Amino acid sequence: MPANQKYLTTSKWERLAKITAGLFGGYAISASIHVLIALWLPCHKLVLITSVYSLFLVWMLFFVLAFLFKKSWKTLVIYLVIIAVNCLVIYYGKLYYPVV
């Protein structure tokens, strides 16, 4: 019954990298996605109030996804790219449609 070892990551560093990516990267992605949607859609209040639950769901989704990559560096790189792109979109969003 325990999961078959041959499919699992054995290296401690690999595992640590994936957990880090899922926990911190996952949160960063989730938070930035919500911010950018709030900026680019006209109804930022509704997006923010939705984020009280959707933030955790999206975060959890990226946490799960982090484990599906075979190589941990791929997870890290992909997550960093997503965060960077989001940050760029947020930057322009804040420039053109600031909330306050």
* Binding residues vs another protein (CB under 8 A): 1-4, 7-8, 27, 31-32, 34-35, 38-39, 44-46, 48-53, 55-57, 59-60, 63-64, 67-68, 99-100
Rounded-to-integer distance, Cα 83 and Cα 29, Å: 6
- What is the gyration radius of the CA atoms in the chain, in angstroms? 16
Q: What element of type H or E holds 36?
A: helix 26-40
Rounded least distance, CB 15 to another protein, Å: 10
Look up residue 9 and give its DSSP letter: -
Rounded-to-integer distance, Cα 86 and Cα 6, Å: 36
Query: Which C-beta is closer to another protein: that of 50 or that of 80?
Result: 50
Rounded least distance, CB 2 to another protein, Å: 5
Query: Which C-beta is closer to another protein: that of 23 or that of 80?
Result: 23
Query: Which C-beta is closer to another protein: that of 40 or that of 80?
Result: 40
Rounded-to-integer distance, Cα 76 and Cα 54, Å: 23
Query: Which C-beta is closer to another protein: that of 50 or that of 76?
Result: 50
